[in-house]
Amino acid sequence: MKKLSSRLGRLVGIGFTSMVLLNSCGNAIPEETEAAAVSDKAFSVEEVLEMVAIENDVTRTLYTKGIVGAGKKQGLKFDEDWQEDKVEAGPLPALFLRGVSSSIRKSSVPLGLYLGSDYPINASNKFEGKQEELFKKIKQNQKPQFFYDSSQKLHTAMFADMAVAAPCVNCHNEHKSTSKTDWKLGDVMGATTWQYPSDSLSYKEAVGVLNAYRNGTKDTYNAYLAEIAAFKDSPKPAIGTVWPSKGFNLPTAEVFIDSVRKLTSYKSLEVLVKKGASVGMIK
Ligand code: HEC
């Protein structure tokens, strides 16, 4: 009985600490955790990149459907050149991801993030070499691919980027620079490539990776809201708790991140709990 309750205690410990990391919008990194006590480098780089890729999937789908898809119906505009002074629009999904990626690059976390394809709109997003080769496998089975890029000395993971919403397909098929016009819902349109220099991470480093991604989302979303605040000729949506599906509104960065958090926490928790089992914390 004692054994069982201590195991449960540890499980709750993991659940609790992961809630802390998932609840923090960036700043609060738990210092002491049970997981850290078990092993200094508790996570393999693959596991951490898998967790941050889940977060990215949720963020990207929510942004594409909830902001771009619903926002367009309300008259909001999204544009490749959204950051140019004369353009009064928000970032396209791919540029939102690029914003997150450059925010991560400015942080102290050595995490790289790119979005590529075999039939890109932007030729510079075309996969080459090893990544091109592995992307063929991803298209076949949609399974993540991992390899060590010895030229860059970086552990690399690639995850399918799926046509999860109608705007993905419509915009790509109709785009003036597209290299493919028959994308369908459910297609593997590309892959996100993630890179990290070491093969294992401490609990704190793993939390750092997730927080860097989440801060990147916050920065990029806030850059969009700042763009709106500076609109001169276009109407400005109300910014608050209401989403564009309910009218001419946009959620604040906090409301947006909060939804991402709710949608990811169960999946990330599953990974952490599995981790607990594999290091012998839970049997
Ligand atoms: C309103 C238009 C629009 C929507 C919606 C959109 N994209 Fe894109 N996407 C673009 C543009 C434009 C680029 C090229 C951006 C650049 O310059 O890197 C791009 C880039 C990409 C790339 C990198 C390869 C390439 O084509 O350059 C992938 C993969 C991709 N998008 C997938 C998706 C998926 C999946 C969705 C839905 C979740 C989506 N896109 C939604 C316009 C769009």
Q: Is 70 in the pocket of ligand 1 (CB under 6 A)?
A: no
Of 119, 125, 162, 180, the one to substitute when testing ligand 1's pocket (max ligand atoms within 8 A of C-beta) is 125
Confidence at residue 135, expressed as pLDDT on a 0 to 100 scale: 98
> Which whole number is the average pLDDT over 83-112?
96
- DSSP letters along 154-182, please? EEEEEEEEE--SHHHHHHHHH-TT-S-S-
Tokens linked to 249: 């509104």
**What's the pLDDT at 269?**
65
Of 77, 121, 128, 184, the one to substitute when testing ligand 1's pocket (max ligand atoms within 8 A of C-beta) is 121
- Is the shortest distance between the CB of 94 and ligand 1 below 6 Å? yes
| pTM recorded for the entire structure | 0.83
Q: How far is 217 from 96, CA to CA, in rounded Å?
A: 8
pLDDT tens sequence across 17-58? 443 444 334 444 444 444 444 558 889 999 999 999 999 999
Kindly tell me if the per-residue pLDDT of 206 is higher than 70: yes
Q: CA–CA separation, 261 vs 244, rounded Å?
A: 19
Sequence-separated (6 or more) residues with CB below 8 Å from residue 107: 212, 215, 216
**What is the predicted pLDDT for the residue at 279?**
61
Closest residue by Cα to residue 97 from 270, 217, 237: 217
**Which of 102-111, 167-176, 177-186, 257-266 is predicted with the least confidence, judged by mean pLDDT?**
257-266
Ligand 1 in reach of 48 Cβ (< 6 A):
no
- pLDDT tens-place string over residues 112-170: 999 999 999 999 999 999 999 999 999 999 999 999 999 999 999 999 999 988 889 99
Please give the pLDDT value at position 94: 93
Phi, psi of 207 (to 5 degrees): -65, -40
User: What mean pLDDT is predicted for residues 251-270?
Assistant: 86
H/E stretch holding 128: none
